[in-house]
Amino acid sequence: MTQQQCSVLIIDDAYTVREYLRQTLLHLGISNIHEAANGKRGLQVFGEKQHDLVFLDIELPDINGQQLLQQIKTKADKTHVVMVTAHNSVENVKSSIASGASGFIAKPFSPQKIKNIVERCLAAKLN
């Protein structure tokens, strides 16, 4: 799978975070990008189309991101989910990985960090 073939879903209530991720992904050559501002809409969009990679905020206004992670992994366990948070606690990281997250990034993050995560998830998809 190439980056051009990759489908990404961004679930974050902060417009600026979604826009930053979208612009970074576009710069990496990924154009199949979907967005949701809350968990309910994120689950709906995920159900409409399978995504290869999901960037998921832990703190959403309507649902805990950890719970949403479990729902996504139940529907499609091969989807890579990267948890996004402003609170980079050891507990958040441990809980996310235990629930099936492929990665964890703390805000603010750099385009290089996003690039590394995308490349790692795509490489894992090929195996």
101-120 pLDDT, tens per residue?
988 888 888 999 999 988 88
Please give the CATH number for the structural domain made up of 3-126. 3.40.50.2300
Residue 121: partners with Cβ closer than 8 Å, 6 or more residues away = 52, 53, 80, 82, 102, 103
Q: pLDDT per residue over 73-111, tens digit each? A: 999 988 999 999 887 677 777 888 888 898 888 888 899
Helix, strand, coil shares, percent, the chain, to 5: 50, 20, 30
Residue among 24, 34, 38 nearest 119 (CA): 24
Q: What predicted TM-score, i.e. pTM, was given to this entire model?
A: 0.92
